[in-house]
Amino acid sequence: MNKYLSKVFYVLTGSKRSLIFLMLVFVLTSVLEAVGIGLIGPFLRLASEPEFIHKIPILEWIYIQFSLTSSRQVIPILGLGIVALFCIKSLGYFFARYYIFQFTFDQKRLQSLRLFNAYLVVPYTFHLSRNTAGLIKNIILETNQFTLNCLQPILESAANLVVIVVLLLLLAKTDLLLLVMIMAILLPTFIAFYRLGGKFKAWGKIVSESQKEIIRTINHGLGGLKETRVIGCESYFGEQMEEQTLRHEKAATLFNTSQLLPRILIETSLIAFVVLFISISQLFLKQSSEDLTSVMGVFAIASMRLIPSASQLIQGVGRMRNGSYALDMLYFDLKELDREKVEKNIDITGNFKGGNFLKSQPGERQVIPFLRQIELSHITYRYSGTSEPAIKEMSLSIKKGESIALIGKSGSGKTTLVDVILGLLPPESGDILVDGVSIYNNLRYWQDLIGYIPQSIFLTDDTIERNIAFGVPDDKIDYGRMKQAIKAAQLEELVEELPDGIKTSVGERGVRLSGGQRQRIGIARALYHEREILVLDEATAALDTETERLVSEAISSLAGTKTLIIIAHRLSTVEHCDRIYLLDKGTVVKSGSYQEVVG
Ligand SMILES: Nc1ncnc2c1ncn2[C@@H]1O[C@H](COP(=O)(O)OP(=O)(O)OP(=O)(O)O)[C@@H](O)[C@H]1O
């Protein structure tokens, strides 16, 4: 339990004191409730024996203070006191519940935010080993599980435990034998449920894993809808979906049904016990009817509050066990992200040391001067879990305004080298220097110099204008710059033809545009953001000759004004480059002009 709570405290965001304060408020209202219930028994007794009030100092005091003439007059005053206590308790309970919901859902919000921000800024290598479905699941579903099946049951169980202890103490004061009887009813259910704990955790794990698989299947099936349709594998994804939804259904049904068991078991035991008790006392002990009535009164109280509290407590513990898988997922991820934060000097809320990363807008960032050259010095990079480095001791230099092409057969290390240059993969050894200064002194500033145009450019389901100004709020878009970027990227003709011009929506991932148009939007985006260095993963292989000509023209028109690093897939497109590097097995095997390397 200690381990569980320490994980909960680690995952909790913001003030941990709120949790303790809430627990106290909840416990206090529960105590008021328990005391209120405890007073009903004596109240009933006083109603039948009013003279008894003179034996209770506080009631005697009321009798004197209010100058009452008959003992019976104390009864309504006492009744009013009990009603007032219940009103205070109910109000307290209402507000306590309100704050519990507010606190727990606020926690869900903060954790989703914390995870999302952390996933955004965490080193790229973290994402190489993670699946997006798992990250989505953590941000949306595990935070929800944590709220519903960890935080809420902790608060409720603490309150229920207090009610149970208070009521058991009251019971012990009334009749020790009855306490033993009640314990005999409650304990077996407690023990049975405690033993079922492992199952609850297993069901929680199945629910969580199946949800991750559901998201993954949706991503695969719908994300690659074109391929799914053409290959005709709809049923394959349909079957995967069915399998996972069935796993989810089974585990969720079992868990939710098992949550009803404590109440059923305790109630049945109670009824059986009462019947047994009456039968035995009538047959063998021949107890008086008053004795039986008082015993029944205590049982009535027990069933009114003790039984619900006890079953809620058992359910709460079950929910906590069920939520422990989600808790583990959040705990391990946040721990890992925190470790990355310490190692890589990144604040989990999104602040890079020396600059607020998440709050800054593209174009508002400070940029380091780049006047002469970029130098890659003895770079080695090895993917984790592989023995051979993908890049070995690679050195090359690029002058400002120069355009270089990286060529080589598939798997030679072109993309890896570009990812190292982009600052996404930290090299095992070596350095990248800009005018003699290491980019690792301030990676953010280095990245602010670069415009990256991948083979398959990421477009949001938004207008052309927003895709070009990517990440800039509408009121901050510079339309003069946008026009220039569109012109330089050879997009003018397309924009003029479209009825809504730059306000035309491109569709999800740019489905309403051709491959070449998407690529040119990528170029326009890099130009709009006025990046000094453009890194292009040339996508011309998939383009027709006319579109390829347009993209190539757009690229070559930039030569001289921008520094270009191009991953070339077609030799015909790199003729205009100043220098060509031929890569093989992670090293440069040949470099020079087009004639020297290719010719
Ligand atoms: N995430 C990864 N984990 C482990 N190995 C990887 C990973 N990504 C790439 N590799 C390996 O690194 C080597 C270089 O791959 P890279 O993608 O850089 O080649 P490339 O020249 O860009 O190929 P292509 O032209 O086909 O895109 C390959 O042997 C590849 O298998």
DSSP 484-502: HHHHHTT-HHHHHHSTTGG
Euclidean distance between CA atoms 165 and 443, whole angstroms: 58
- In the three-class reduction of DSSP (H, G, I as helix; E, B as strand; rest coil), residue 422 is classed as coil
Q: Which two tokens stand for residue 437?
A: 């200064």
Euclidean distance between CA atoms 550 and 564, whole angstroms: 17
Higher pLDDT, 417 or 561: 417
Of ligand 1's atoms, which has the minimum distance to the CA of residue 416?
Answer: 18
> Taking 90 as the threshold, does the pLDDT of residue 416 lie above it?
yes
Higher pLDDT, 8 or 228: 8
Model confidence at 359, pLDDT cuts 50, 70, 90, reads: very low
Q: 99-113 pLDDT, tens per residue?
A: 888 888 888 998 899
Q: Cα of 509 to ligand 1 centre, how many Å?
A: 24
Pocket of ligand 1 (CB under 6 A): 128, 383, 386, 390, 408, 410-416
Nearest residue CA, atom 4 of ligand 1? 383
Ligand 1 pocket mutation pick from 379, 415, 584 by most atoms within 8 angstroms of CB: 415
Model confidence at 289, pLDDT cuts 50, 70, 90, reads: low
For 417, other C-beta atoms within 10 Å of its C-beta total: 26
Dmax over CA atoms of the chain, in Å, equals 121
Tell me the helices (H) and strands (E) count for the chain, helix number first. Answer: 24, 10
Nearest to 425 by CA among 127, 117, 123: 123
Q: Cα of 417 to ligand 1 centre, how many Å?
A: 10
Average pLDDT over residues 439-454: 84
What's the pLDDT score for residue 358?
40
Higher pLDDT, 179 or 413: 413
Higher pLDDT, 547 or 17: 17
Euclidean distance between CA atoms 145 and 5, whole angstroms: 16
Ligand 1 pocket mutation pick from 383, 418, 582, 588 by most atoms within 8 angstroms of CB: 383
Average pLDDT over residues 343-372: 49
Q: 54-64 pLDDT, tens per residue?
A: 777 887 888 88
Model confidence at 351, pLDDT cuts 50, 70, 90, reads: very low
**Whole-structure pTM over 0.95, yes or no?**
no
What's the pLDDT score for residue 239?
92
Extended beta strands in 299-428, E state: 373-381, 391-399, 403-407
Nearest residue CA, atom 31 of ligand 1? 411
Of ligand 1's atoms, which has the minimum distance to the CA of residue 385?
Answer: 4
What's the pLDDT score for residue 421?
93
User: Which domains does the chain carry?
Assistant: 2-344 (1.20.1560.10), 373-597 (3.40.50.300)
Q: State whether the Cα torsion 276-279-283-286 is positive or negative.
A: positive
Q: Cα of 36 to ligand 1 centre, how many Å?
A: 71
Q: 475-513 pLDDT, tens per residue?
A: 888 999 999 889 888 888 888 888 888 898 888 777 788
Nearest residue CA, atom 17 of ligand 1? 415
Model confidence at 414, pLDDT cuts 50, 70, 90, reads: very high
Q: Cα of 413 to ligand 1 centre, how many Å?
A: 6
Average pLDDT over residues 513-530: 84
Give buried/exposed letters for 312-325 (b at 16+ CB in 10 A, else e): bbbbbbbbbbbbbb
Nearest residue CA, atom 6 of ligand 1? 383
Q: Cα of 541 to ligand 1 centre, how many Å?
A: 18
Q: Cα of 387 to ligand 1 centre, how many Å?
A: 13
Higher pLDDT, 217 or 273: 217
> Taking 50 as the threshold, does the pLDDT of residue 42 lie above it?
yes
What's the pLDDT score for residue 67?
81
> Taking 70 as the threshold, does the pLDDT of residue 238 lie above it?
yes
Q: Which two tokens stand for residue 134?
A: 């798992």
Euclidean distance between CA atoms 586 and 392, whole angstroms: 5
Average pLDDT over residues 136-146: 91
Model confidence at 367, pLDDT cuts 50, 70, 90, reads: low
Average pLDDT over residues 265-283: 80
Of ligand 1's atoms, which has the minimum distance to the CA of residue 412?
Answer: 21
What's the pLDDT score for residue 209?
92
> Taking 60 as the threshold, does the pLDDT of residue 155 lie above it?
yes
**Residue 22: partners with Cβ closer than 8 Å, 6 or more residues away:** 96, 99, 100, 103, 155
Of ligand 1's atoms, which has the minimum distance to the CA of residue 569?
Answer: 25
Model confidence at 597, pLDDT cuts 50, 70, 90, reads: confident
Q: Cα of 410 to ligand 1 centre, how many Å?
A: 8
Of ligand 1's atoms, which has the minimum distance to the CA of residue 408?
Answer: 21
Residue 567 host element (H or E): strand 563-567
Ligand 1 pocket mutation pick from 412, 422, 455 by most atoms within 8 angstroms of CB: 412
Of ligand 1's atoms, which has the minimum distance to the CA of residue 586?
Answer: 14
Q: Which two tokens stand for residue 23?
A: 């627990």
What's the pLDDT score for residue 347?
43
- Least trusted range by pLDDT, from 121-135, 167-181, 341-355: 341-355
DSSP state letter for 459: -
Q: Cα of 268 to ligand 1 centre, how many Å?
A: 65
Of ligand 1's atoms, which has the minimum distance to the CA of residue 418?
Answer: 18
Ligand 1 pocket mutation pick from 414, 420, 574 by most atoms within 8 angstroms of CB: 414
Q: Cα of 529 to ligand 1 centre, how many Å?
A: 29
